[in-house]
Amino acid sequence: MQFPEVMRHGRFLFGTDIEYAGRLVGITERSVENEASDLALLRLEFEIFVIDEQSQPPRLLATACIASRDMIVTPKAKTDPKLVRYSDLLGVKDVNSKESWYALEKLPSAGESKWIRIQFGPPDEEDMRQPFQIIRRLDSVEKFDIKRQEATTLHRGTFVSVSETKQILRDRRNNIPSDATVVRFVDKFEDKYGKNLVKYIGNQRRINWYLCWHLWEADKVG
């Protein structure tokens, strides 16, 4: 299976048994047919990070993926428990006002970004989007070493350890594979992709997780 086909059929599947960190990166208004001026359909977009609290210091590992949720803001939004939960966690001053939601994008510095913990639910059968099953506060973001990822092509990305790579891979039962399984999988494609896929530092292999993920998803479907 070729990569363009993978990208049409595949969507990044987040684990449902762990929590991720989400950094709010965008709020956009979606078009609707209603003529009511006091109604707004907003899409909140979050950059998703794997939470690695076992490292010292603890780390947030970027997945280079965005997850979004849509919500309708109306004069009665404050009566909706789910919207109130989001507004409490993100610090929205007036849950009924779309201007208050937009204000979250105008924070003066990156250090004031809004973060939440997210546990994803199973993907929707229609569009494969995963709901935010549970959202919680992410306290003390400053204690984390944030590893960002600016991947724009399949052959460009951060090379990480086997244990870090496996955190973004899921088998057909949506389980995280073992280190040994990941090593065998990478070995299968190393001759073809070479240093685009794996590099060695001493005896330690470093894997281009972005390319590895696409190969993994293609192998599951093909």
Is residue 25 located within the same domain as residue 121?
yes
- Domain end, chosen from 124, 147, 170, is at 147
- Domain end, chosen from 118, 147, 176, is at 147
Q: How confident is the model at residue 110 (pLDDT cuts 50, 70, 90)?
A: very low
What are phi and psi for residue 198, nearest 5 degrees? Answer: -145, 140
Q: Domain for residue 4, yes or no?
A: no
Cis bond upstream, residue 57 (ω within 30): yes
Is residue 62 located within the same domain as residue 168?
no
Q: Residue 129: what pLDDT?
A: 77
Is it the case that residue 11 has pLDDT exceeding 60? no
Domain that holds residue 183: 159-221
From the number of C-beta atoms within 10 Å of its C-beta (0-12, 13-18, 19+), residue 39 rates as middle
> Could you give the percent of the chain with pLDDT greater than 70?
83
Q: Domain for residue 154, yes or no?
A: no
Q: Residue 32: what pLDDT?
A: 77
Asked if 22 contacts 67 with a C-beta cutoff of 8 angstroms, the reply is yes
Q: Residue 147: what pLDDT?
A: 75
Q: Domain for residue 76, yes or no?
A: yes
Is residue 123 located within the same domain as residue 163?
no
Q: Residue 1: what pLDDT?
A: 26
pLDDT (tens digit per residue) in 15-28: 788 899 999 988 88
Is residue 123 located within the same domain as residue 17?
yes
DSSP string covering 66-107 = EEEEEEEE-TTGGG-HHHHHHHHHHT-S-TT-HHHHHGGGG-
What is the tally of structural domains in the chain?
2
Is residue 45 located within the same domain as residue 84?
yes
Which amino acid type is present at position 33?
E
Residues 54-59: contacts with CB within 8 Å, 24+ apart?
Answer: 55/145, 57/143, 57/144, 57/145, 58/143, 58/144, 58/145, 59/144, 59/145, 59/146, 59/147
Q: Domain for residue 1, yes or no?
A: no
Is residue 86 located within the same domain as residue 29?
yes
Is it the case that residue 154 has pLDDT exceeding 70? no
Is it the case that residue 152 has pLDDT exceeding 50? no
Q: How confident is the model at residue 89 (pLDDT cuts 50, 70, 90)?
A: very high
From the number of C-beta atoms within 10 Å of its C-beta (0-12, 13-18, 19+), residue 162 rates as buried
Is residue 123 located within the same domain as residue 166?
no
Is residue 81 located within the same domain as residue 126?
yes
Is residue 61 located within the same domain as residue 111?
yes
Is residue 185 located within the same domain as residue 87?
no
Is residue 167 located within the same domain as residue 86?
no
- Domain end, chosen from 88, 113, 147, is at 147
Q: Which residues contact 24 (CB under 8 A, 6 or more apart)?
A: 44, 45, 46, 90, 104, 105, 113, 114, 115, 116
For residues 47-63, average pLDDT: 85
Q: Residue 35: what pLDDT?
A: 67
